[in-house]
Amino acid sequence: MGESLTPRIDDERTIGFSNNPVANLADIKQRMVFVLRAAKQFDDLLHSDKREQIEQSIRDIALGGGIR
């Protein structure tokens, strides 16, 4: 786990897990900070003018589509 984990939303938005070289996703205290930050960002996106784009991306993923 020595590298920074950064799940990608798209080219403009990322959610970094940690810059700590010994970060550990198995540690619930570290993981929950990341999960709550990601959930807030997702909620903000759903309440933005990007909602339709987000919904379409979720449908594409559900249908087995890849990155466009």
> Average pLDDT for residues 2-27, to the nearest whole number?
63
pLDDT higher than 50, residue 68? yes
Distance CA 12, CA 57 (A): 15
Neighbours of 32 (CB within 10 A): 10
Tokens standing for residue 62: 């559900």
Identify the pLDDT of residue 3: 44
Q: What is the pTM of this model?
A: 0.56
- 32-53 tens-digit pLDDT: 888 888 899 889 888 999 899 8
Identify the pLDDT of residue 49: 92
Distance CA 41, CA 6 (A): 14
